[in-house]
Every structure is written in structure tokens, then in C-alpha cells.
């Protein structure tokens, strides 16, 4: 799943893998589950780590960690995004991805070839 940042948000118009910043005392897996609830209204179980990327934007440096996730309840509702789409792995790089997400997409594509 990719989500597009809405107007007025940092990186507006860029597509990204959903997620967010880890809070104090929170694991990356707990962070992802919380962010999926808060930003998309989806309850998910978080699985294995699949990729990691580091990138420095004008507004800061970020480490993006991608995990497998399975939705078990909820109905998709967007808050900081204006679109969400299920994208085939082979087509990930056809989207205008946020720069930090490009290495994640490349890793995912290399896993299915």
C-alpha cells in the first residue's frame, strides 16, 4: 500500500509507505501499528522487517524501516494523506515516491524477481 501526502503536509504530492515517527519507549513495530491506526484507521499485525533506508531531507534526517503488515480490522480513512492505493510490487517505482522510500521499493522489487 502507498499513501500520498496531502496538500499542506511536508512532501505534499509524494507517495510513501505509511508509517511515522517512533515515540519514546516505543518499538518500531509498535510505532507502525499505532501510525496505521491513527493515520489510516486500520488495525494491523506487524510482521518481519523487510528493508531499511536512511535519507536526509531539508527538514531532517530519517531512517525508514519497512515491515510486513496484515490488516485485521478497520475501514480505510485518510487523515494526513489524500489518496491510498494498493500497488503491485513491480509498479512501485512508477509512482512519485518520497526519496526515502525509493530504496525500500527497490528492495521489495528485488525480492520478487
Determine the average pLDDT of the residues in 69-97.
Answer: 95
| Structural contact between residues 26 and 9, judged by C-beta atoms closer than 8 angstroms | no
Question: How far is residue 113's CA from residue 9's CA, in Å, rounded to a whole number?
Answer: 34
Residue 104 has pLDDT above 80, yes or no: yes
Q: 91 pLDDT exceeds 80?
A: yes
Mean pLDDT throughout 85-107?
96
Average pLDDT, whole number, for the chain? 94
Q: Is the pLDDT of residue 98 over 70?
A: yes
pTM of the predicted structure, to 2 decimals: 0.90
18-61 pLDDT tens trace:
999 999 999 999 999 999 999 999 999 999 999 999 999 988 89
Position 113 scores a pLDDT of: 66
pLDDT band at 87 (very low <50, low <70, confident <90, very high): very high
The residue ranges of every structural domain in the chain are 2-112
pLDDT confidence of residue 80? 87
pLDDT, residue 52, reads: 95
Q: What architecture does CATH give domain 2-112?
A: Alpha-Beta Complex (3.90)
Q: How far is residue 84's CA from residue 2's CA, in Å, rounded to a whole number?
A: 6
Amino acid at each position: 500500500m502507498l499513501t500520498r501526502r496531502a496538500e499542506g503536509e511536508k512532501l505534499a504530492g509524494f507517495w510513501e509507505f505509511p508509517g511515522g515517527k517512533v515515540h519514546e519507549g516505543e518499538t518500531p513495530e509498535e510505532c507502525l501499528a499505532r501510525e496505521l491506526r491513527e493515520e489510516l484507521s486500520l488495525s494491523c499485525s506487524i510482521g518481519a522487517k523487510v528493508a531499511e533506508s536512511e535519507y536526509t531531507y531539508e527538514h531532517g534526517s530519517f531512517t525508514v524501516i519497512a515491515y510486513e503488515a496484515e490488516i485485521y480490522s478497520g475501514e480505510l480513512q485518510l487523515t494526513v494523506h489524500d489518496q491510498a492505493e494498493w500497488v503491485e510490487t513491480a509498479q512501485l517505482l512508477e509512482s512519485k515516491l518520497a526519496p526515502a522510500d525509493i530504496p525500500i521499493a527497490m528492495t521489495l522489487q528485488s525480492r520478487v524477481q
